[in-house]
Amino acid sequence: MVRSILGLAVGATFIASPASAGILGFTAGNLLVERIGDGTTTLGSAAANVSLLEFQTTGSAVRTINLPSSGGDQVTDSGSATSNGYLNVFNGYVAVSGYNSAAGTASVASTNTKVGTVFNGDGTVASRTLFPTGGATGTPPSPFAGNNFRSMIATGANTFYATGTASGAPNTGGAWYYDGSTFTQVSNTAAGQPTNLRNVEIYNSQLYVSSSTGTFLGISAIGTGLPTSAGSNANLVISMGAGASPYGFVMFDTNGDAVLDLAYIADDRTAAGGGLQKWTLSGGTWTQSWALLVNGSGALQAAAGAGFAGLRGLSGTWDAVNGAQLYATTTETNNNRLISIVDNGTTPTLAANLASAGTNYAFRGVDMYAIPAPGALALLGLGGLVAARRRRD
């Protein structure tokens, strides 16, 4: 493997040659799912294998990409930390959070061996960035010291945002930006601000996060636009209320006025209020339309019951003809599911169980692969869905 090393004082970024990955390119419109486990070892707090699974939206399997679980390019994640492992597709890049630790490493989520991997659209590794390992008081400090690295989204081949939480002081949780050589804690850690963040997303050139901490129960914007300097405040945009437990979320501009006015949020509660929530913006106020769980028969319903599942990973598209076509991962501890949900604006339905993770496996994040249009962050190749893609510049 041919590599160049950048910024070793802060984080080591390895740029892989195109021939090194040996992976076929991703197909626009297909789903990418992050899977944890090796199919043999019971999932626990130890480091587990990470794989990327590509599916057609019908559930047909396309390929499995097994990331190395040992050696110089290893990428693993906690088998039991259900808040970890939420990949993202943005601007043609696929970003995968993880740990530079061999499979089997005990209590891996609390280690400071974080690593961020960015894939090109052709399936090759664009960069592999090792996070600083010195802890909260190190020089430089470790993002998410002693705790969970949950999600990342790439803005370029070796630039990205990352979210998680931290232990100890100073607090190194929240949202971070990596510019190719230096890590910057872009979110404010002052009292009252959220530092325990889950999924990170970009919509309409604005950085958003989900969280379930303090008064920040829902979806928040971090600063204005895409912040790259320290200390941006979080602004709670969609307040989901007491008990909310949001993870993945998608947001759409349905009328072309450059204002996001429709959102779907995955909530992992199996009680009433969990599952999939729909929110709409009217008169400057976000209002919940409904919240539906996945029942034991594979249908959606509001009331809770035995064997019901919430949701964590979420992706999808929207267009004026078909409404929302959504794809989500369910909350079963082992052998959970990838499902599709259709919301035509009147009656949301669980369209299909697309795939099951398998014994001693778990699906985490899901995203639809898209390629950027020249000069814009919009989807090509999906016909009428061009203007309705889950992210827009």
pLDDT at 100: 99
Which of 214-223, 236-245, 308-317, 365-374 comes out lowest in average pLDDT?
Answer: 365-374
Between residues 205 and 393, the one the model is more confident about: 205
**Total domains, the chain:** 1
Kindly state the average pLDDT of the residues 267-284.
Answer: 97
- Which band of pLDDT confidence, cut at 50, 70 and 90, is reported for residue 24? low
In a domain, 164, yes or no: yes
In a domain, 74, yes or no: yes
- Summarised one tens digit per residue, pLDDT across range 160-206 is 999 999 999 999 999 999 999 999 999 999 999 999 999 999 999 99
In a domain, 331, yes or no: yes
3-state secondary structure string across the chain: CCCCEECCCCCEEECCCHHHCCCCCCCCCCEEEEEECCCCCCCCCCEEEEEEEEECCCCCEEEEEECCCCCCCCCEEECCCCCCCECEEECCEEEEEEECCCCCCCCHHHCCCEEEEEECCCCCEEEEEECCCCCCCCCCCCCCCCCCEEEEEEEECCEEEEEECCCCCCCCCEEEEECCCCEEECECCCCCCCCCEEEEEEECCEEEEEEEECCEEEEEEECCCCCCCCCECEEEEEECCCCCCEEEEEEECCCCCCCCCEEEEEECCCCCCCEEEEEEEECCEEEEEEEEEECCCCCEECCCCCCCECEEEEEEEEECCCEEEEEEEECCCCCCEEEEEEECCCCCEEEEEEEECCCCCEEEEEEECCCECCCCCCECCCHHHHHHECCCC
Domain of 91: which CATH number?
Answer: 2.120.10.80
Kindly state the average pLDDT of the residues 122-140.
Answer: 97
Domain ranges, residue 198: 5-388
* pLDDT over 70 at 13, yes or no: no
* pLDDT over 60 at 16, yes or no: no
pLDDT at 77: 99
In a domain, 37, yes or no: yes
pLDDT at 384: 34
In a domain, 263, yes or no: yes
pLDDT at 71: 96
In a domain, 393, yes or no: no
- Summarised one tens digit per residue, pLDDT across range 311-367 is 999 999 999 999 999 999 999 988 999 999 999 998 899 999 999 999 999 999 999
What does the mean pLDDT of the chain come to?
A: 90
Kindly state the average pLDDT of the residues 59-68.
Answer: 97
* pLDDT over 70 at 95, yes or no: yes
